[in-house]
Structure 1
Amino acid sequence: MESPASRMSRLLSGFLLCLFAVTSIAVVDGRFTDFSEFGVFSVVCAISVLASILLVSLAAGRGKEHGRWPTDSMISREAEDAMISRLEKERDEASMQGLSSKWARMEMEHLESKHSEE
């Protein structure tokens, strides 16, 4: 199974390829003639630059350990199997903590009721 980061890399690659193709067709067709004017071309360029930066940052973190790269908090590079096991472990720990707090609450209520009887 793939990590979310590899899926996002594939998605961004396809998006950038389509964006480049559409932009080049528009330039050849003469739709973008005045590049100095802020308009659709500038917006398309800004979107492509942002997508390229994200793609390069995902590609640069590929060989690093999970959790050591800045984009790991947004897009996990952790394998899906490892992610599932980690989340199940965290869920079990949270349920155990909830159980211990419920036990402490029940014991406190019991002691309070016993103290009020005296």
Structure 2
Amino acid sequence: MECIEIYTGGDGQSQFRQIEAFEVGPVSFKGVAVSLSSPQACESVLLHEFDSDYFLGWHNPPSKQYVFVLAGVLEIDLGNSVAAQRFAAGAVFLAGDLHGKGHTTRAIEAGRALVVNLRG
């Protein structure tokens, strides 16, 4: 599955890049063929509900975290020459810019997201 990763570049600025996450392979489960990824350990899972006026100023995530947008639209801005990216329902991104300037998060439409904090 492709998703966008937010990471800290060598200059301390956050950057976007496309990555392949959750590589899946065929598995037989009780005689039914399905595609599954290998499990990934996580620290916590949170449901984040946000109003349309939600804005979180410059910040870094506490640990790497997958954000699965379930409803609404979030906009991530890196504050540099790169255009802000919007993530609507069904989108997944990996917030991994643990140090440096960080990013801002703004709700374009109210909604909810599932936030999975990874270990390590």
Instruction: Give the TM-score, by structure 1 length.
Output: 0.22
Q: Which has the larger radius of gyration?
A: 1
Normalising to structure 2: TM-score of the pair? 0.22
Which has a greater percent of helix? 1
Higher strand share: 2
